[in-house]
Amino acid sequence: MTNETQLHPDYSSEKDRLEFTKRYIDVVIQTSQSSKEKFKENMEKAFGDVDWLESSAAYIDILTNASFFEMSKEELEALTKVKKKPYFARIDYSQKGSNKEEKHYIGKTSLYQRENQEQIIVDWRSPIANLYYEGRIGNVSYEVEDEQFEGHLSLKRQYMIEDGELEEIRDIDLTTTDELLQESLAKSSSNRLTEIISTIQEEQNRIIRADLNKSIIVQGAAGSGKTTIALHRISYFIYNYKQHFDPRELMILAPSSLFIDYISEALPELGVEKVRQTTFSEYVMTCLEKQLKLTDDKKLIELIEENEKKTIETSWISGFKGSKTFRKILDTYIEEIEKRFYAKTDFYVDKYRLYSAKKYTHLLREEYTYLPIYRRVEKLKGLLQSYVRSNKKEMVKKVELFYDDKIEKALYQRKHAANRKEYISKALDKKAKRLEDIKKAIRTSVTSYMKQFEKKNLYTYYEELFQDPERLVAYSNGALSLNKSQQLCDYTLKIVKKRKYEMEDLAPLLYLQTYLYGIDKFYKAKNVVIDEAQDYSYLQLYALKRALETDMFTLVGDLAQGIHSYRGLQSWEPVYQDIFPRATYTELQKSYRTTIEIMNEANKLLSKLPYTFPKVNPVVRHGEAPKSITYKTHKDLSLLIEQMVQSGREEGFQTFAVIGKSMVDCVTIAKALEEALPDKVKLLEEQETIPKDRIVVVPSYLSKGLEFDVVMITAVNERFHEENELDVKLQYVAMTRPLHRLYFLSREANQFI
Ligand SMILES: Nc1ncnc2c1ncn2[C@@H]1O[C@H](COP(=O)(O)OP(=O)(O)OP(=O)(O)O)[C@@H](O)[C@H]1O
């Protein structure tokens, strides 16, 4: 604790307040574990020795009122977690027209008295806490459910509380630079995702709190806090909609399991651990209720290594299958499939016409369009069955009456006994036969009527789509040449015939499933957060929106890091113009991760990309400039890395990564390092957890989204080429991973851009 803090005029009262809050939390936790009756006793035990509370209105209220702490299990768990740091800020606010100044202590979770609504800790997600993030000292306003409140903000104060002890008090106003942010950024990279609540910046706060009923698209520079914001927005959503939404109705789509592992550390702290976390491919398979055999998604790697001519020649197919043109092809295909379900004949039971083909088709194409095709057919089948059921008796009766009438007439009219007997006996036989026929027709007519319609599964439909290149050209309205169509069909059929699929087939499959068979309600999340959204194709996003029947999406991404752009997005425009027209589009240019020196170098690469991005602004934090070092042998390289890690550790850094362009280079590096430093190195492949205590070796394309204190971009045999867009992006991604230090290690000087 600094002397300055102790000299702060409010030091003593703030210390008391913290003490009070901590003890209070203890009592609530203790009492909830025993019984409510014990509450008063616990309170007296906890506060019996203090006199500074005697006059506190809150304390008196508490004593007379034990019912306030009926908390849910979740609330109690949240409280237990924050005990050592119950709040991080305070604002003093007075409502317009009132001269009463309210002190609000802001923390990760709230604690309040149910009876008089007086809050001991205000949740950072509550409306009034917005003043901490947005409000300047002076006249301010905030909104609660569309109602505007005006007032005056006289104090914004931050606290550093470590292990339950008040370390520092800082009053902030317009002129003070946000020191807490600076300090938070200077820390080493363990557990950082969780620690930003106190330092969320205004532009980030606006995104977190943006209208939850609308989608939002964020183009954010590397390190601008996209992942962090996305997670906090979920937390904010849960807080605001806890009455209406189950957290399981929210879904985070992450780029890989590795990434899920990385963010899941942050989730419990934010109270969002119950949210569904999955990847796009896993989610599609859930919706299809089938574990598909996916081919290895090696295209990117092959493009990086440039050793697969075939991949380069066919990579347009990946892009095409995610395009708007392909969506139109699917739409036409679906329309064509729908037509196959138009009825050709009227529906008869025996000789009775119960339903006309015209009416049937009308229902199918006009009335039931809210249902997927196969469900419409099911519904119509049910409708025919109910017609049969309700006409059954009458049809049987008609037959009976017809024969009974004949028999009766014969009884009176036929004079000759033998003749009459024979006639009646035949009539009875006929009647029995007709009744049998009609009963059989009643049982079978619906099934046999439905036989005119095809019954195929999704995978057959998908395969059939590629069986006729000419038809595809027609469906595409000429956008696809016959030549290309042939190439597309040959390429796809070769795989799907074996019932295998590529990553790029998943969106079309999801789309067809949605329109042909439908998606089970249970799988439909109502609100979706997508990180690294730039790697999604138009069709992936479109299909998701249709499948989930919601447009409440939070999309965060960075086109400059779009290393999958051969199949992903080239621009956000089609997303906000076409898919989510209600969306708000925002750009974040400020980067919090790294130092000015590192960001300046990374910015130089941005200008080599075919986009017009403004330069990324690093938050004012200086560090060492990136260094380039050449080495000769593998042994030299591992020595070099070892030294850097060693000196980094001495400076207090904890996480170290060696990033190579390709996996091939990484394997070489990892081998060399492993020899020098056995058991201290980890080569990171997809689907793995990141060990904190090891030097991580990771290929550039897998390092996206991750961060480390120290990064050593290393080239053995690979080179990053300036004229290759993918290479520029890969190097940019790698360069924006470090928090504090960046080194370039290569055998020759020209291996980096
Ligand atoms: N307001 C903030 N206060 C403190 N730290 C912050 C803040 N915003 C972001 N950070 C930190 O900056 C780093 C980058 O954040 P994050 O990983 O969310 O960025 P990103 O935009 O997803 O980056 P990338 O695109 O490179 O994956 C993290 O360490 C995060 O904790």
Residue 199 assigned as binding residue: no
- Which of 197, 228, 262, when mutated, tests ligand 1's pocket best, judged by the most ligand atoms within 8 Å of its CB? 228
The pLDDT of residue 685: 82
Nearest CA to ligand 1 atom 15: 225
Q: Picking from 137-146, 222-231, 583-592, which range would have the lowest pLDDT averaged per residue? A: 137-146
Q: How far is the CA of 588 from the centre of ligand 1 (A)?
A: 11
> pLDDT tens for residues 142-201?
888 888 889 998 888 988 888 889 888 888 765 455 666 777 776 665 555 556 788 888
Per-residue confidence (pLDDT) for residue 160, from 0 to 100: 86
Does the annotation place 550 within a ligand binding site? no
Residue % of the chain over a pLDDT of 90: 50
Higher pLDDT, residue 516 or 566:
516
Residue 163, Ramachandran bin (φ over 0: left; ψ between -120 and 50: alpha; else beta) = left
Residue 343 annotated as lining a ligand binding site? no
In the block, tokens 């795989």 appear at 495
Nearest atom in ligand 1 to 229's CA: 18
Q: Which residues pair with 715 in a beta bridge?
A: 746
Q: Would you say 676 is a known binding-site residue?
A: no
Write the pLDDT tens digit of every residue in 416-441: 878 888 888 888 999 999 999 999 99
Beta bridge partners of 91: 104, 156
Alpha helices, DSSP H, located in 677-753: 725-735
562 is in an annotated binding site: no
pLDDT at 204: 92
Q: Which stretch, 563-577, 594-608, 680-694, has highest mean pLDDT?
A: 594-608
172 exposed, middle or buried (CB, 10 Å; 0-12, 13-18, 19+)? middle
Question: Closest Cα to atom 9, ligand 1: which residue?
Answer: 225
Ligand 1 centroid to Cα of residue 664, in Å, is 30
Residue from 191, 592, 735 whose mutation best tests the ligand 1 pocket (most atoms within 8 A of CB): 592
Going from the C-alpha of 671 to that of each of 301, 639, 682, 700, 714, the distances in angstroms are 20, 13, 10, 17, 14
* Cα gap 341→338, rounded to integer Å: 5
Probe residue for ligand 1, chosen from 201, 202, 564, 593 as the CB with the greatest number of ligand atoms within 8 Å: 593
Q: How far is CA 93 from CA 20, 89, 127, 696, in A?
A: 21, 13, 13, 48
In this prediction, residue 115 carries a pLDDT of: 43
Contact in structure between 200 and 232 (CB atoms under 8 Å): yes
* Assembly ipTM: 0.98
271 belongs to an annotated ligand binding site: no
Q: Contact at 8 Å (CB) between 86 and 21?
A: yes
Q: What is the pLDDT of residue 562?
A: 87
- Based on the number of CB atoms within 10 Å of its own CB, is 424 exposed (0-12), middle (13-18) or buried (19 or more)? middle
Q: How far is CA 216 from CA 646, 712, 741, in A?
A: 43, 35, 33
Spatial separation of the C-alpha atoms in residues 485 and 635, rounded to whole Å: 52
The stretch 210-216 carries a mean pLDDT of: 89
- Amino acid in the structure at residue 615: K
648 is in an annotated binding site: no
- Give the binding-site residues of ligand 1, using a 6 Å CB cut-off: 181, 184-185, 192-193, 196, 199-201, 204, 220, 222-228, 558, 561, 592-593, 705, 707, 736
Q: For ligand 1, atom 26, which residue shows the shortest CA distance?
A: 222
The secondary structure of residue 362, as a DSSP letter, is H
Distance 262 CA to ligand 1 centre (A): 13
Which ligand 1 atom sits closest to the C-alpha of 193?
A: 31
pLDDT at 261: 74
Identity at 300, one-letter amino acid code: L
